[in-house]
Amino acid sequence: MRVDPADGIVFDIEVPVAVIGAGAAGLVAALAAHEAGAEVLVIERDPVPRGSTALSAGLIPAPGTRWQREAGLGDSPDLFAADIMAKAHDEPDPALVARLAGAVGPALEWLSDRHGLPFSVITDFRYPGHSANRMHGLPSRSGEELVDRLARAVEAAGIPILCEARVDTLYTEAGAIRGFSLVRPDGARERVACGALVLACNGYGGNKALVAQHVPELAGALYFGHEGNQGDALLWGEALGAATRHLSGHQGHGSVAHPHGILITWATVTEGGFQVNGDGRRFSDESRGYSEQAAEVLRQPGGTAVTVFDARIADIARQFEDFRKAESAGAIVEADTIEELAARLHLPEAALAETLAEVEALKRDGGRDGFGRTFADVPALNPPYRAVRVTGALFHTQGGLVVDDDARVLTQGGAPIPNLFAAGGAACGVSGTGPGGYLSGNGLLAAVALGRIAGQAAGAMRFVSP
């Protein structure tokens, strides 16, 4: 990834607003910039828009929406902002948190009203750390539907999406972005001049060297996000002298079936299950959250653990397609007794039985274990038992380029680069520095809310076109 001076560069075309990346952030930014009156071009390295957005559950947290009101759910941007700050131990920029918490509800209503995305609010399940039911999703509750519907809306608005086009060089002139160069699969190169540029090419989860540098505890971990997210925005930003923040922030997951590579819902743990290592012993307070648990699991011998649960929990988990897939793939081990379960998993029988007895005693008698977990109000496990061998994975990174109120990229000195914007995983999000700061939905929050803000501001710059 390069940043070069624009001197002497001959551009093939000029566009007022260009957006790099056709995930949720880029597509939302494109719609907003177009609505602000600008001509927009979206550039995407893949043959079709997918990104990590397509891999996600597509659930977006938003407070005070009409869907919440219709369902009789009380909520407010202030309450949401307080939840984000509490989860990330007050590390995020409170102004950014307030801006996103206030912007995301109107953004979803706009996507519904103007672009026909049929959102609804989830009322039967609340994600940990949210003090109201505020997750909104499309009918299939899948990120694939989200990115497909956004791409269709972009196409319906007449905005071109140039696919199979990887941007690798930005050109600068007088402290601003003058354009960029993209390369096609056959090696052909095109140079595009632009009035404003939105970086919506996500974080660096797919770049092993950057992960090793910024999130060393997950250096060897499976990456579960989109491979195309190579940290290009971060690398360009660094070359431009942009401010970066919270680069160690990320979302991990300590429950990916191994070796099948299928996400196993964390309900297997929150509903009364627990994790053991190869000695049949627990090793952590699993209730802190699935993100923190990624590194805990990877620290165990072989980088794996076994989640022990029961048939009742399997019934709950089966509502998730991934869990059904894991069952079909033979990842879920079944046994009538704990000894039989241990034998099937090659775990020491006596140790596993002892661990189960300790957990069940805590549920019955109350108290806190040596790791700090309480099992208060957690149902007992009963035979027949279920178990799955899991590993820890990196889902996506949360640190990135520091932006101002208009999603404009700031330099280390705090001045905005006048026509450069960042949204979604390209920008520093609201999850702080550690794995535990990620409140469910922070990823798409930054993609949708900041994407719209970036698009509105970039679109308003159309008169500054080259």
Question: Which residues make up the interface to ligand FAD (CB under 6 A)?
Answer: 20-26, 43-46, 50-53, 55-57, 59, 143, 166-167, 200-202, 224-226, 228-229, 232, 395-396, 424-425, 441, 443-444, 447
**CB-nearer residue toward ligand FAD: 24 or 193:** 24
- Nearest-approach distance from CB 145 to ligand FAD, in angstroms: 12
437's enclosing H/E stretch is none
- Nearest-approach distance from CB 227 to ligand FAD, in angstroms: 8
**CB-nearer residue toward ligand FAD: 347 or 427:** 427
The SS3 call for residue 376 is: coil
- Nearest-approach distance from CB 438 to ligand FAD, in angstroms: 9
The SS3 call for residue 336 is: coil
Q: How far apart are CA 135 and CA 440, in angstroms?
A: 9
Strands 408-410 and 120-121: unpaired
Q: How far apart are CA 340 and CA 430, in angstroms?
A: 45
**CB-nearer residue toward ligand FAD: 134 or 373:** 134
**CB-nearer residue toward ligand FAD: 54 or 342:** 54
- Nearest-approach distance from CB 234 to ligand FAD, in angstroms: 11
**CB-nearer residue toward ligand FAD: 56 or 265:** 56
**CB-nearer residue toward ligand FAD: 52 or 277:** 52
Q: Is the peptide bond before 49 cis (omega within 30 degrees of 0)?
A: no
DSSP line for 87-129: HTTT-S-HHHHHHHHHHHHHHHHHHHHHH----EE--S---TT
- Nearest-approach distance from CB 62 to ligand FAD, in angstroms: 11
CA angle, residues 111, 115, 121, in degrees to nearest 5: 40
**CB-nearer residue toward ligand FAD: 39 or 46:** 46
Closest CA to 201 of 178, 168, 175, 160: 168
| Positive or negative: CA dihedral 154, 159, 165, 169 | negative
- Nearest-approach distance from CB 94 to ligand FAD, in angstroms: 20
- Report H helices in 134-175: 143-156
- Nearest-approach distance from CB 432 to ligand FAD, in angstroms: 15
- Nearest-approach distance from CB 400 to ligand FAD, in angstroms: 9
**CB-nearer residue toward ligand FAD: 55 or 257:** 55
9's enclosing H/E stretch is none
Calculate the alpha carbon distances from 380 to 103, 270, 307, 408, 446 in Å.
Answer: 42, 12, 15, 51, 38
Tokens of 38: 């600008």
